[in-house]
Amino acid sequence: MKTIRKPRKMIFALLSVTLAVLMSLTSLVAAINGTRAALEDKLVTLKCESGIPPQYTIEVGQTDITTVINLNEAFSGDYSIATVSNTGAALNNLHVTGKKAGVATIAYGTHNGVLTVTRYQVIDSANISSYFIKDGGTIQFSEPGSSKPLPVVIATGTDNIKWISLNDGIASIDGNTGLVNAEKIGVTILIGEFTDKWGVDRDVHILVGVGVSLEGLDCNTGCGNKPGDEPENPITTTGPGSVVDGRTLDDSQTGDGQWVEVARNGDYSLIIRKDFVKCYAEQDNTDYWTWYALTVSDNNYSDPGNFLRKEINYWFNAAYNGSINGRQYLAKDARLRDYTVMNDAYSVTGTSGIYPNSITDGFSRPLSYRTGVGNDVAFALSWSEAANFCSMTARYRDDPSYHIDSGPLAIANYEKLNNLKAIFLRTGGDIQGMMGTIHEESGLYGEVFQNNKAFVHPALWVHQDIFKSQG
């Protein structure tokens, strides 16, 4: 068990519980540990997401040997993942050796000019491929001063999870024992980060309550406000009526250029970046569509390895994880981080172009705890959110009306964005190799349907205090 106590300086306000809720739960606290019903362990089995067939899958340390007549030279796209060499009679044996888990592109050519490019999946069976979540993924303490083990048990692979607490003052993790220590009354999140068998970065979230019943805690009436305050606008279900003619945040308010508000939920606002994120290293060429518009590689946003989900997570976290490589990212000190809250967008992707379902089946909802770093905090809008909050029109595949005009507020919000040729949505298309997009078709801008290439405009749920002038 590896633990990290403070691996990085986090600039955010953490999950808090109102004094009123704490007082109302006092009578429950003493019985938390002894009366909570036992929950079944949940087995989480991870899957390979690269789509590479078994014949091109090798274990770390293993060498795949292929005879290639007239082999001239071979290259690896990432020598840290897989190396290549050619040996044997007339140097016709191509050797591909796995170095660490991940995907590497191998290219080799022959003397008669034939070039072959193959993707290899390198696996590391020592890494985690399945684990159990115990106690519903929560830890409950009746009071500060005691310790409990983490409710995560590795089923397959070696425990290489690195844990952090979003608030060490409430619950900390002992680097020697791996035990969670209750420090003071409150609620916080533990995040466990690891690389799986296939080289994909994953994380696990554990909710910790100290002196508070997590079962009795209702975030509609308590979480996310300052101690002693009653919530003015509790979190409700997001829907078509959440759309607003949104305000625009400038760079002094975000630290990341302009952002446009498109919807509200209680004290929270759904905002989208006005300009796209440049997902590749800077280019001198101003042909943005060629350089910065991504092409679909898979269309299931709920998978952690989804290309769009990974690009947005990179943009949000690169300043903290140290993997900056010339691409655009959110600065560590960006003011956005102080007001951003978690959400359930990654699990609510919706459907694309199905009448009438798609108009309402993909609404995300803000959660009350704030965090300025972490996976799946930033996200892409869904088909439902785009159709209702930020578009000119929506196209249905199986409805006679075909195109439906968006509402005036959605149209107004869309017109506040830049680079409107195409914007990726987190909703997968109904054709393989397509993602939901807001795009141009036959000269019609702002249509919500699907495409295979688009720009990335991250979205966030933020507390509306971000709109207040800085003091």
Predicted confidence at residue 82, as pLDDT, reads: 93
Helix (H) / strand (E) element for 461: namely strand 459-463
Instruction: Establish whether domains 2-46+128-210 and 54-123 are of one fold.
Output: yes
Q: How far apart are CA 19 and CA 259, in angstroms?
A: 33
Mean pLDDT check: name the lowest of 28-42, 185-199, 297-311, 408-422. 28-42
**C-beta neighbour count of 326 within 10 angstroms:** 10
The yes-or-no verdict on residue 33 having pLDDT over 70 is: no
Query: Rounded to 10 degrees, what is the CA torsion of 379, 205, 128, 141?
Result: 180
Provide, rounded to the nearest whole percent, the portion of the chain with pLDDT above 90: 45
Question: What does the mean pLDDT of the chain come to?
Answer: 82
Model's pTM, two decimal places? 0.58
Cis peptide before 144 (omega within 30 of 0): no
Provide, rounded to the nearest whole percent, the portion of the chain with pLDDT above 70: 82
Does residue 285 or residue 292 have the better pLDDT?
Answer: 292
Predicted confidence at residue 9, as pLDDT, reads: 30
DSSP annotation of 243: B
Mean pLDDT along residues 288-304? 87
The yes-or-no verdict on residue 59 having pLDDT over 90 is: yes
When computed from its CA atoms, the radius of gyration of the chain, rounded to whole angstroms, is: 24
Structure tokens at 421: 């040729």
| Three-class DSSP category at 442 | coil
User: What's the CATH class of domain 54-123?
Assistant: mainly beta
Q: How far apart are CA 202 and CA 305, in angstroms?
A: 9
**Which is it for the CA torsion 208, 212, 217, 219, positive or negative?**
negative
SS3 track for 59-83: EECCEEEEECCCEEEEEECCCCCEE
pLDDT in tens, 80-139: 999 998 764 557 888 999 999 998 888 888 888 888 888 899 999 999 999 999 888 889
Predicted confidence at residue 399, as pLDDT, reads: 61
pLDDT in tens, 259-283: 999 999 999 999 999 999 988 876 7
User: What's the CATH class of domain 2-46+128-210?
Assistant: mainly beta
| Three-class DSSP category at 87 | strand
The domain segmentation of the chain, as residue ranges, is: 2-46+128-210, 54-123, 240-467
Tell me, what amino acid is at 241? G
| Three-class DSSP category at 295 | strand
Predicted confidence at residue 130, as pLDDT, reads: 93
- 8 Å CB contact between 146 and 175: no
The yes-or-no verdict on residue 3 having pLDDT over 50 is: no
